[in-house]
Structure 1
Amino acid sequence: MEGKYFFNGKDISMNLYIQIRDVIDIIMEKSNLSFPDAMGKFYHSKTYKALQNTENTLWAESAGYIADRYYEEQEEAQINK
């Protein structure tokens, strides 16, 4: 089903949406970005794509942990430019 996320047959969509919101809040605060800018940057990241793959259980980590993965990805992208 599109727009729904499942893990072991259980609907975890709300858990995932809350994680996404909290990660975007962290990005907004740490990077001094507006909500639309922070959301756009996160939605276009590999970290966001990994978060959508419910089998890897990244969604079960804290928002801070996920945001750290996002920032590591950003740092790696800067190094590889």
Structure 2
Amino acid sequence: MIEQQGRHSRREIAAAIVAIPATMLWRAAAASDKMTKPQAAYQDTPNGIYSCGLCTLFVAPNACKVVEGEISKDGWCKAFAAVD
């Protein structure tokens, strides 16, 4: 019997279709869910009376729930959410 090259079974095609989104999900999960400092418009100085130390997203002593890297409690970014 002669094999036809370039033809794939339905099972192979279905497996490939499932594998592509799974790979994309794995890559998305591996990526950081946080914004970079430039994306957040982060600055090391407060914006008037508003500063990271007064934000609900600040994680003492120097981190943030939504911005990557080391954050100053005296900094500020566009994700600022005041503590009630």
Confirm or deny a common fold (TM above 0.5). no
User: Would you tell me which structure has more helix in proportion to its own residues?
Assistant: 1
